[in-house]
Amino acid sequence: MISAGEFRNGVTFELDGQVMQVVEFQHVKPGKGAAFVRTKMKNVITGAVVETSFNPTAKFENAYVERKEMEYSYNDGDLYYFMDLETYDMLPIGKDVLSDGFRFVKENMNCTVSSYKGKVFAVDAPNFVELEVTETDPGFAGNTATNATKPAKLETGAEVKVPLFIEPGERIRVDTRTGEYLERAKS
């Protein structure tokens, strides 16, 4: 159990059956009346952010969110299979749980799988990945306007905007959080 007076940034706890994480907190001691804890918290599963105040003595159940590094193996329809790197067990995860950045993940890449009480609620791709460009229009000489980009299809099927000098067959680094081209991959 944890009391609201013990809140710190990053603490996870259960509130009305939901898993919440403290984003910001402030202990307030007004001149009149009782002290309270003003809290900004995020629902870990849905991502919704809520602000509320608690009595510092209010007690909550601790919530232990497990984050585990797992290797993406393959998909079969709407199920994506991940291998536990310690036990080699395969874990099927539904498509609806995958993050938007998962479109940049190819087989045998490691991802972070988050679960609470054994229920998986999020799969996060690595922040940066190196992928091969499979299709893109050729860049033309003299076509060098500042920050000019063109669409490129990657080996995972995802599309990103790349500079004009990128050709098919080149490897590039992509930020999976924003879906943006970063640089050519260093060989």
Average of per-residue pLDDT across 144-157: 82
**What domains sit in the chain, N to C, each tagged with a CATH number?**
2-62 (2.30.30.30), 65-124 (2.40.50.140), 128-184 (2.40.50.140)
Q: What is the pLDDT of residue 144?
A: 60
Q: What is the pLDDT of residue 72?
A: 93
This prediction has a pTM of 0.72
Mean pLDDT over each residue of the chain, to the nearest integer: 87
Alpha-carbon distances of 41 from 13, 61, 63, rounded to whole Å:
10, 15, 14
Listed range (51-60, 118-127, 140-149) with the worst mean pLDDT: 140-149
Spatial separation of the C-alpha atoms in residues 25 and 5, rounded to whole Å: 10
Nearest to 49 by CA among 39, 58, 61, 41: 41
Place of tokens 């490129």: 152
Nearest to 25 by CA among 43, 38, 35, 10: 38
